[in-house]
Each structure stands twice: as structure tokens, then as C-alpha cells.
Amino acid sequence: MTFMPVMSKIVSMDEAAARIQDGAVVTVSSSSGLGCPDRILQAIGERFDREGHPRNLTTLHPIAAGDMYGIKGVDHIAKDGLLSTIIAGSYPSGPSSLPMPEIWRMLVENRVAAYNVPSGILFDMHRDVAARRPGVLTKVGLDTFVDPIREGCAMNDAAAEKPIVARMDLAGETWLHFPNIVPDVAIIRATTADERGNLTYEHEGAYLGGLEQAIAVRNHGGLVIAQVKRVTASGSLRPHDVRVPGHLVDLVVVDPHQRQTTETDYDPAISGEIMRPWSSFTLAEHGVEKVVARRAAMELKSGQAANLGFGISAMVPRVLLEAGQEQAVTWAIEQGATGGMPLTGFAFGCASNADAFMPSPQQFTYFQGGGFDVSFLSFLEIDLEGNVNVSKLGKKPYLTAGCGGFVDITANAKKIVFSGLFEAGAELELTEESLTVKTPGKFTKMVDTVEHVTFSGRRARELGQEVLYVTERCVIELTDTGLIATEVMPGIDPSRDIVDASKGRVRLANNLAEMPKALLGRGPMELSL
């Protein structure tokens, strides 16, 4: 009997980059620094610098590729002539003290057609392309910037000229329709590949959507490139560990130095290989933001499943940890980690001591259908309608990443708790007895009309969603008559610091209650869930 030899799929970065054709649609699996196939993106950019090819690429990014802190990601290919269109759930973001990423420079200068599509919808687009269905039909994004009655996902004039979403009436209801965009190339990342291209993710902090992206490309005869940390012999991987089977993978490139996250080479607790003692996690630093997170945490009940977003909201699990309630609720984040302790900073999107890692597309199905109990998110602006903006800042656009999964998460959530500071740049004095405004802020975050509608207050009222906005000064409820402050922080002058500071946009409830002084203490706060 004669056995056919195993044909290795392992190639160099340059060889893989050379296979990408002009005009290709390229889908990239990444979440900022987490799971980013950075080295192959670099090779594509270097090939373009040498040869002038590939040209006129369209790239799809369900979550951002790269960040501003050391993993360039999409910035490797943000070059005139190379990149013509980018459709992304989020973009690299960071503080104004850092240089603007090149992808943002191309965007604001109208040198690339740029779109911001909710992450869950982008994953749905891949699944519908793979199954040859007629595009995504969804109510996610109605009455937000995603809706063609507003921006239709376009981030600049070049994108507005080429719409990618339309309104559609079906059975007497209004839907958003995203026609299929068929990817020619998928660039995904894993930890280990065998010689047949089977992929395992044992050092990764999330699976993301690599499998769905690979299937979408394979079902249309395209090219799937996997970047990995190491290669093993064919047949040496446990079948239960393989997340992307080898028949879906054409080429494997090796970067032995790929990082888990931007600031993490490798931490086995992030990939779920070990469990950390709960005592090893740091507590939230005492300050105004922790006070806000504490009040937000009071909206939880034991046994709930809760979603968590970036910003002040990311401190809520640490509040529970301090109160000895670290396992009282199950956290679910869009990158896929479920349970455990969600991490902050550069490791946001990961969790230590997780119960499970869900693939992102399935996690978003859970979110879009409103299966969880409550979501904790942040805000940049709130307007008279209760609309929230987290996705656009005209003066400093790269301070925000775009919408990410925010629109998917809020579409059908039963309860949403937004957290943020009432004003920007106010001087606040915090004691164990009170919080006072020493100097008013530069501007209020309560505005007539938000710059970008990432969350629709009008639609929330139509759906009967419970919506709270928690600030350091008050708790605000969204009602049919507008924004009503129902609780006030000890030390805050309601008329001056809330009504006048918001120029009357926030009104006071007749039965205005005082927030608990326990929120202000330096020691652990007792939290009964």
C-alpha cells in the first residue's frame, strides 16, 4: 500500500502576501491587539511598498485590527493605492497625546471609503455569505447612525457615495438590509497549526470569528491564510481542540513572537489554561469613577447574566470583587469570554477564570436577541431624546473606536445602564461624606442633539427597554417626557449642578432620592445582590 505524503501548507510571510490579488476583498480576524495577525498584515504592506501590489483592496474587520500602542494592524496596509475601502466594526483608538493612526488620517481626508458597521452585523454578513443567503436582514441599528435615514454606516463622503445598507419593508415591518459582500481572502490567527492546516487556539484569549470568516471565503473559492505561533506534525492535535479544520485553510504563516494582547506576550490565565486566585486581582482605584461604578453595580441581582463594555463600566466587576461578590453574576463580553473576571486596559476583551469561551458570532447572536439580563456601557454624549453617542467625536475622531458591538448589544437589551461623568473637565472634590463640584466643567455631556446616534432613545421607549444613565452627580432615567434625575449624590446641589449644568436638559424628579453615602467610602462597600 502506498501512502500519499502530507503536503505542508507552511509558507513564508512574503509568499502568502504574494498570493493576494489586486481588487481583492480581504476579511481579517482581530480584536485590537487580541488575536491580531499583525505580521502578515505587515508583509502585505511591505510588498506594496516594493511592488505597488496588491492594489485597491477592500477589507472587512468585524472588530478592529491593531491599536495605537504597538500592534499596528490595519495601519500596515493604510496606504494610498493599496486600500480603497474599509468596512469595520471598530478602529484603532487611543488618547489625543498619541499620533493619529494612518487609517484615521485616510478616513478624515477622504482617501478611503470608510464604514462603521456593528460587529455582530459584520459577523452575520459572513454567515449569510457563506450560506449564499441574500444578505443580512436585521432590526439592529434602526434609528441609529447605521440606518440610511441617518448616515447608513458611512464615516466619510467617499463612503456615503457607495451605500452598503438599505431600508426594506417586509410583512408590514421595517428592516435593514445589508447585501452580500463576498470576501476573496481571509486572514485569521491561531496558536498552533499542524501540517494539514488544522488550527488550535490554546494560547489565545478568544476565538473571535475566524471559523466563520474562513467558511465564508472557502465557500466562494477564496484563499484562507492563518498566522500561528508554532507548527506541529500532522495528526498530533486533539480533534476536540481544533477550532478551524485544515480543509478550510490554504496557507499557514508562522510568527513565533505573536502576542496574546498588546502588552501580554503570554499569560495562561488569559487563555484559560490556569485559574488565578481571586485575591490576585487588583481592586478598582478609589476615585470618582469608582463611585459611579459602585452605583451601577447596585443594578445587579445575583444569578444574572450581564454584558460589559469599555470605560467606567469595566470597573463594575472589580466593585463586585471588593464586595466579595465576584461570582454572583455571569459576565459576557463580545470577544466571547463568559464568566470569570473581565480584564481591563490593554487586555480588555479577555477574562481570567472564565467559564467558557464563546465564538464571537454566537455571542453576538445571544446579544442581538436580548438573552442577557442587563448591559453596562459607557457614554460620551446624551441628548434630549435619550440618544447616546459613543462612536464619533468630530474634533478628535480617533479617541473613539467606533461602535464595535454597542449597537448589537443595545438593540434588544432588557435593561441598559450607561455610565459616565456628567461634565468634561469639572473639578470635583470627593470625601467619605460628599461629592462636590468645585469648578464647573468645560462642557456638559448632556446636549440638545448628539453628534452620532449610537443608541436610539426613541426606539428604546418603543420597545419598553429600561434605561438608566449613572453619573457622579445623579442617576437619570429615560422617560416618555425626557431625562429625569431620580437620585442625587450627597454634596451635589441639584439645581446648580444638574439642572443648570445641563442647561435644563435634565429635570428633577418630584421624589428625588439621595444616593447612599456608602458609595463614597474608601473601604469596601457592602453590596447585597
Give the active site residues: 334
- Cell readout for 369 is 436577541
Sign, CA dihedral 150-156-157-158, equals negative
Distance of alpha carbon 167 from the chain centroid: 25
Q: Which residues contact 518 (CB under 8 A, 6 or more apart)?
A: 525, 526
Put residue 26 in one of left, alpha, beta given phi > 0 → left and psi -120 to 50 → alpha.
Answer: beta
CB contact at 8 A, 159 and 201:
no
- Cell readout for 55 is 492594489
Residue with cell 435634565: 506
- Cell readout for 520 is 463614597
Q: Which residues contact 251 (CB under 8 A, 6 or more apart)?
A: 9, 11, 15, 16, 19, 223, 224, 225, 226
Q: At what angle do helices 360-368 and 119-130 cross, to 10 degrees?
A: 110
* Calpha distance 526→304 (Å, rounded): 18
CB contact at 8 A, 376 and 309:
yes
- Amino acid occupying residue 19: R
Beta bridge partners of 428: 437
Sign, CA dihedral 287-293-296-302, equals negative
Three-state DSSP at 234 gives coil
DSSP strand E in 275-408: where? 305-308, 330-332, 337-338, 341-342, 351-352, 356-357, 374-378, 381-383, 388-389
Angle at 442 between CA 286 and CA 446, to 5 degrees: 85
Q: Is the peptide bond before 54 cis (omega within 30 degrees of 0)?
A: yes
Q: Which residues contact 184 (CB under 8 A, 6 or more apart)?
A: 21, 24, 25, 26, 217, 220, 222, 223
